[in-house]
């Protein structure tokens, strides 16, 4: 009997503690899968000077206020606020596996130490505004994502709550990411290369090369600029297709020397393509800020030389906008110069698309927001800070616009999961093509060899698991 009473007491204590716990949590609850960040956590930046209006400075949603919120030390005075990423913008239903949309976006996220340009205010908003314009994106190649976007860790000695572009990408279904090029760099490369690739579809292989050439007197010499490769496997309704995506950001700056470096870098990117010995029956797509104006493409111009080194074909440019950098239109950019520098182009020696286009997108906030554009500080600086020397109201989210390349390929090469065989036109295939299904992870044979006993155990396990979850949810609903 004593045991029974003890057990009863224990259950009672458990229920009581759950009720108390629920109450304390209630205010700060955010939906499962919604990334969030505590502001006011960075001791050197805005030590507990947060308030509920701050989340909206970054296009985020205010959740709650709590001086002891987050995992770091509680506030001495002032408070912290929890901000969450806004509601998901749902992606469109997938296009067929023979089609791929690739976005290049140079997001101007330089390290605070060198530059202040509203990195956080802009880059926390970027994915939402991009997806507001287009929901049919398969792959995004980022340029100048040096820190990782939004509230990324920017200094190993500064403790902070983080919310990165990769977190926001995951929230929206872009759950596959490459590393940032040059992440594992060696001195004198102080900075990574800023390029990474995000995908709605599995990245089944990745590789990179760090360029050996850079203009010595520019910041690019200290950055591990290079090319990042991602092999993407798009699977829709049982048909699979591999895409070879190469992202880069070539040497900035003008002059003969820079022109030469850009061509050398393009040659090194092309060497990476060649070294991977890809099948010529697969597409190779390059996406990047080539720092070469497409409108200067006359023979033997730097643009022509770069495109030649890449063996690249530039698809038709469609849409309303003509320039990817545009000082007149872009309110985050100074000056009045305009050019076309950001490309989603394809390699002439590999599978050609049957249709392809490039279109400039202008992701943009619906209302002006204020950012600090000039400050000398290794830390993020906001317009209200006394370190900020010049602030500006902007709507554009980077100094470049984004470009979407929409590619359609003949569906001859598609394989189906059920048969594992090429569906049509086997005479054009070479033996190397049969690897189409091997990387998909589900080969039909592993499914049929599973014994009856194992599947029964699995069913029992799953049923038990399901009921445990269900009862937990019911209990929580009842108690909270
Ligand atoms: C917190 O305390 C510091 C120093 O004691 C003071 O300068 C600051 O204004 C206080 N902040 C708030 C929000 O009260
Ligand atoms: C390509 O392979 C050659 C020979 O192995 C090597 O020397 C070169 O560094 C590689 N280049 C790239 C860009 O991977
Ligand atoms: C882009 O170029 C076209 C054709 O020259 C022109 O009609 C259009 O006004 C330009 N658009 C912008 C935004 O400059
Ligand atoms: C990191 O922060 C420390 C102070 O906490 C500062 O001295 C250092 O310069 C910062 N480093 C960079 C690369 O910003
Ligand atoms: C930005 O806009 C706000 C609200 O209109 C205004 O108070 C502020 O002075 C503006 N800042 C700059 C730098 O123009």
Residue range(s) defining the domain that contains residue 51: 30-86
* Helices H / strands E in the chain, number of each: 8, 21
pLDDT in tens, 233-268: 999 999 999 999 999 999 999 999 999 999 999 999
| Residue of 41, 57, 59, 60 whose CA lies nearest to 49 | 41
pLDDT in tens, 359-375: 999 999 999 999 999 99
The verdict on the CB of residue 274 being under 6 Å from ligand 2 is no
Question: Does the residue 434 lie in any domain?
Answer: no
The dihedral built from the CA positions of residue 194, 166, 55 and 75, taken in this order, carries a sign that is negative
pTM for this entry? 0.83
Which pLDDT score is estimated for 190?
87
Confidence of residue 414 (pLDDT cuts 50, 70, 90): low
In ligand 3, which atom is closest to the CA atom of 329?
13
Nearest CA, atom 8, ligand 1:
77
The verdict on the CB of residue 275 being under 6 Å from ligand 2 is yes
For residue 276, how far is its CA from the centre of ligand 2 (angstroms)?
Answer: 9
Same domain, 151 and 56: no
For residue 392, how far is its CA from the centre of ligand 5 (angstroms)?
Answer: 7
Instruction: Kindly give the pairing relationship between strand 415-416 and strand 239-249.
Output: antiparallel
| Residue of 406, 211, 362 whose CA lies nearest to 291 | 211
Among 373, 408, 443, which residue terminates a domain? 408
Cα angle 336, 339, 344 (rounded to 5 degrees) comes to 145
The verdict on the CB of residue 276 being under 6 Å from ligand 2 is no
Same domain, 65 and 122: no
Which pLDDT score is estimated for 415?
53
Nearest ligand (C-alpha, residue 319): 3
Same domain, 211 and 337: yes
The dihedral built from the CA positions of residue 319, 324, 325 and 331, taken in this order, carries a sign that is positive
Mutate to test the pocket of ligand 1, among 51, 76, 77 (most ligand atoms within 8 A of CB): 77
In ligand 4, which atom is closest to the CA atom of 156?
1
Residues in the chain: 480
Which pLDDT score is estimated for 437?
35
Among 408, 425, 459, which residue terminates a domain? 408
pLDDT in tens, 275-292: 999 999 999 999 999 999
Q: What DSSP assignment string belongs to 85-103?
A: PPPP-PPPPPPPTTEEEEE
Nearest ligand (C-alpha, residue 330): 3
Number of domains in the chain: 2
pLDDT in tens, 331-342: 999 999 999 999
Confidence of residue 270 (pLDDT cuts 50, 70, 90): very high
Which pLDDT score is estimated for 258?
96
Same domain, 77 and 118: no
Q: Which CATH number belongs to the domain containing residue 157 in this structure? A: 3.60.10.10
Question: Does the residue 56 lie in any domain?
Answer: yes
Same domain, 40 and 177: no
User: Which residue would you say has higher pLDDT here, 435 or 387?
Assistant: 387
Same domain, 202 and 133: yes
């Amino acid at each position: 009997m004593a045991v029974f009473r003890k057990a009863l007491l224990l259950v009672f204590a458990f229920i009581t503690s759950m009720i108390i716990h629920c109450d304390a949590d209630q205010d700060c609850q955010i939906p499962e899968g919604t990334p969030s960040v505590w502001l006011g956590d960075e001791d050197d930046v805005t030590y507990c000077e947060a308030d509920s209006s701050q989340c909206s400075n970054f296009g985020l949603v205010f959740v709650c206020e709590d001086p002891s919120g987050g995992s770091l030390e509680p506030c001495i005075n002032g408070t912290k606020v929890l901000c969450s990423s806004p509601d998901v913008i749902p992606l469109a239903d997938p296009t067929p596996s023979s089609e791929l949309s690739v976005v290049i976006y140079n997001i101007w996220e330089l390290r605070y130490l060198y530059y202040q340009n509203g990195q956080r205010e802009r880059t926390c908003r970027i994915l939402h505004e991009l997806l507001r314009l287009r929901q049919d994106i398969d792959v995004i190649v980022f340029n100048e994502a040096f820190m990782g976007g939004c509230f990324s860790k920017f200094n190993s000695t500064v403790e902070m709550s983080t919310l990165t572009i990769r977190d926001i990408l995951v929230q929206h279904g872009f759950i596959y990411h490459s590393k940032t090029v040059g992440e594992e760099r060696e001195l004198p490369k102080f900075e990574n290369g800023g390029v990474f690739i995000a995908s709605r579809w599995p990245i089944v292989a990745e590789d990179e090369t760090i360029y050996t050439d850079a203009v010595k007197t520019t910041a690019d010499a200290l950055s591990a600029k290079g090319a990042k490769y991602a092999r993407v496997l798009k699977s829709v309704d049982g048909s699979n297709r591999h895409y070879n995506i190469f992202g880069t950001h070539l040497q900035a700056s003008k002059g003969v020397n820079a022109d030469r470096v850009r061509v050398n870098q393009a040659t090194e990117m092309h060497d990476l393509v060649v070294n991977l010995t890809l099948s010529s029956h697969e597409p190779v797509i390059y996406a990047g800020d080539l720092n070469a104006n497409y409108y200067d493409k006359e023979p033997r111009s730097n643009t022509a030389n770069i495109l030649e080194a890449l063996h690249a074909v530039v698809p038709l440019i469609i849409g309303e906008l003509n320039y990817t950098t545009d000082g007149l239109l872009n309110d985050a950019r100074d000056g009045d110069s305009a050019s076309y520098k950001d490309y989603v182009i394809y390699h002439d020696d590999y599978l050609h698309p049957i249709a392809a286009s490039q279109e400039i997108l202008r992701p943009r906030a619906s209302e002006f927001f204020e950012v600090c554009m000039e400050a000398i500080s290794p830390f993020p600086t906001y317009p209200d800070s006394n370190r900020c020397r010049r602030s500006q109201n902007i709507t554009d989210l980077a100094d470049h616009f984004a470009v979407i390349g929409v590619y359609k390929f003949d569906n001859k090469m598609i394989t189906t999961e059920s048969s594992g065989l090429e569906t049509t036109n086997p005479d054009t295939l070479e033996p190397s093509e049969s690897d189409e299904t091997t990387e998909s992870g589900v080969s039909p044979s592993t499914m049929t060899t599973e014994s009856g006993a194992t599947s029964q155990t699995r069913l029992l396990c799953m049923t038990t698991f399901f009921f445990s979850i269900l009862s937990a949810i019911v209990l929580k609903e009842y108690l909270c």
